[in-house]
Amino acid sequence: MIAHLLKPEFDELVEKKDWITLKESLQDVPPVDIAELIEGIDSKIGVVIFRLLKKQTAAEVFSHLTSSKELEFLELLSKQQLAEVMSNLEPDDLLSIVEELPGPLTQKVLASLNQDDQMEVKKMLGYPPESVGRLMTSRYVKVKSEWTVERAMRHIRKFGFSAETVNVIYVVDENEKLIDDLRLNQLILADPQSRIADITDNTFVALNAFDDQEHAVEVLSKYDRVAMPVVDSGGVLIGIVTIDDVIDIAREEATEDFHKGAAVAPLKTTYRETPVLSLFTKRISWLLILVFVNLLSSGVIEHFEEVLASAIALAFFIPLLIDSGGNTGAQSATIMVRAIAVGDVKLSHWAKVAVKEILVGMSLGLAMGLASGVLGFFRGSWEIGLIVGLSMVCIVLVANLIGAILPFILTRFKIDPAVASSPLITTIADVTGLIIYFSIAALILPSF
């Protein structure tokens, strides 16, 4: 929003090349908004503006740039400028940049780091992709349990400026094993001569470096924390995960689920950065699969060709019935996928879910069956009305049950249940709906 308001003035100063005024005008602008302003201009000019910023601000701006713009900047920055930017980035931000770079640029970035930062990045690269170890930072404040509160406060004042957060202080023993985590206000309000051990209760929640990043999202949300300690298998404190990184992961996971729910392979970059060919390849595979699956619908119609020929009015209600089944199944699948994702239901709850969804499906089916049966009566005859009404009840019931249970099946086989959303469920519901419709018609029509 701020970037939008500043853009006219920003563009004017860039056009005039009034770098002094531009530098002054950007001093109080948040880094994320500066990044947005830089995104819309030529990278060569962007690098000039980049050099006007303070080192820490420049690093924050860089972390908010899109991957394509980061790549252009890395190619244009001098070795010294690159070193300044990289040294001021948080380790997790630095890792996310390194992971996406081509080989030569990766070496260039690593070469610009000091030895400690190089070791930190390489250590994080040793953890599995999408693990908490790839997300954590080593920039936190820890204190010893035998220290006094006064000494701990001196330590925080000395080293807190380089930490990603000082809202939470971590207590470790002589072996660096995590004992507790304390809110800063607990230390401020404590007697300066008290020992840290006297104000701890030795209860804390921690993540393991090999935990999945989605687990970190769940834990921080559950315990309402701004940061969470990360320990190794021996309980030694090795890093922390902060809420800002977790929000990014949550947003990425939500975006991925939206894509999968629409039968689109998740995009690795933003939509603006994704080329046409990549968008085509991300979408065509599922669409082709669904085309072949939909051939089953054609096969069902062909199999019941004589039934359809005996009462052509049946054809009028095919779209109504199969669309109703697809919509019902998609609704129940969406609800269940989300319930599984947030931990509201577990795999062991499948039987209870099935019973509940049978009742829900029956209620929906009866309501929709009554309405569609009346339509069938007026558009055809009482036989057509009966066929359409009964078919609607059965189709909605079955589609609702399929939509609710399929996510459990996919989860059981380690497949992301998000793929059970609209396109897949709709296709399955189409086939089963046609089978149900024509089977009921074959039983009721006098000639059959």
CATH number of 31's domain: 1.25.60.10
The total of structural domains in the chain comes to 3
Residue 353 has a pLDDT of: 92
Say yes or no: 164 and 116 in one domain.
no
Say yes or no: 170 and 225 in one domain.
yes
Encoded tokens for 260: 């999968």
- The predicted-structure confidence for 366-416, as pLDDT tens digits, reads as follows 999 999 999 888 887 888 889 999 999 999 999 999 989 988 988 888 777
Residue 448 has a pLDDT of: 44
| Direct distance between the N- and C-terminal alpha carbons of the chain, in angstroms, rounded to an integer | 68
Of 242, 267, 297, which residue sits at a domain end?
242
In degrees, rounded to 5, the angle at the alpha carbon of residue 401 between the alpha carbons of residues 395 and 404 is 135
Q: Tell me, yes or no, whether 37 lies in a domain.
A: yes
- The predicted-structure confidence for 303-355, as pLDDT tens digits, reads as follows 777 776 667 778 888 888 988 988 898 888 888 888 887 778 888 889 999 99
User: Residue 196: which domain range?
Assistant: 142-242
- From the number of C-beta atoms within 10 Å of its C-beta (0-12, 13-18, 19+), residue 1 rates as exposed
- The SS3 assignment for 223 reads helix
Q: Does position 263 have pLDDT exceeding 70, yes or no?
A: no
Mean pLDDT of 154-162: 89
* Mean pLDDT for all residues in the chain: 82
Which helix (H) or strand (E) is 284 found in, with range?
Answer: helix 276-303
- The SS3 assignment for 142 reads strand
More confident residue, 244 or 189: 189
Cβ(52)–Cβ(19) under 8 Å? yes
Cβ(242)–Cβ(164) under 8 Å? yes
Say yes or no: 111 and 38 in one domain.
yes
Of 80, 98, 126, which residue sits at a domain end?
126
CA distance 298 to 281: 26
Q: Whose CA is closest to 420, among 400, 396, 404?
A: 404
Max alpha carbon distance in the chain (Å)? 96
Say yes or no: 148 and 209 in one domain.
yes
Of 61, 92, 126, which residue sits at a domain end?
126
Say yes or no: 416 and 280 in one domain.
yes
Q: Tell me, yes or no, whether 253 lies in a domain.
A: no
Q: Does position 269 have pLDDT exceeding 70, yes or no?
A: no
325 to 95, 176, 317, 396, 431: CA distances (angstroms)? 46, 58, 12, 5, 10
Say yes or no: 68 and 146 in one domain.
no
Q: Tell me, yes or no, whether 267 lies in a domain.
A: no
- From the number of C-beta atoms within 10 Å of its C-beta (0-12, 13-18, 19+), residue 423 rates as buried
**Banded model confidence at residue 31, pLDDT cuts 50, 70, 90:** confident
Q: Does position 202 have pLDDT exceeding 60, yes or no?
A: yes
Q: Tell me, yes or no, whether 12 lies in a domain.
A: yes
Mean pLDDT of 69-81: 79
Say yes or no: 385 and 410 in one domain.
yes
Q: Whose CA is closest to 243, among 222, 257, 258?
A: 222
**Banded model confidence at residue 146, pLDDT cuts 50, 70, 90:** very high
- The predicted-structure confidence for 208-259, as pLDDT tens digits, reads as follows 989 988 888 888 888 888 889 999 888 999 989 988 888 877 777 766 666 6
CATH of the domain at 390: 1.10.357.20
Say yes or no: 428 and 297 in one domain.
yes
Q: Tell me, yes or no, whether 402 lies in a domain.
A: yes
Say yes or no: 153 and 209 in one domain.
yes
Q: Tell me, yes or no, whether 132 lies in a domain.
A: no
Encoded tokens for 434: 């046609």
**Banded model confidence at residue 446, pLDDT cuts 50, 70, 90:** low
Q: Tell me, yes or no, whether 261 lies in a domain.
A: no
More confident residue, 120 or 147: 147
Say yes or no: 118 and 173 in one domain.
no
Say yes or no: 146 and 122 in one domain.
no
Q: Tell me, yes or no, whether 403 lies in a domain.
A: yes
Q: Does position 4 have pLDDT exceeding 70, yes or no?
A: no
CATH of the domain at 174: 3.10.580.10
Neighbouring-strand partners of residue 127: none
Q: Which amino acid is at 423?
A: P
- The predicted-structure confidence for 161-181, as pLDDT tens digits, reads as follows 888 889 899 999 988 899 999
Q: Which of 35-39, 70-74, 189-193, 435-439 has the lowest mean pLDDT?
A: 70-74
Say yes or no: 60 and 161 in one domain.
no
Residue 179 has a pLDDT of: 93
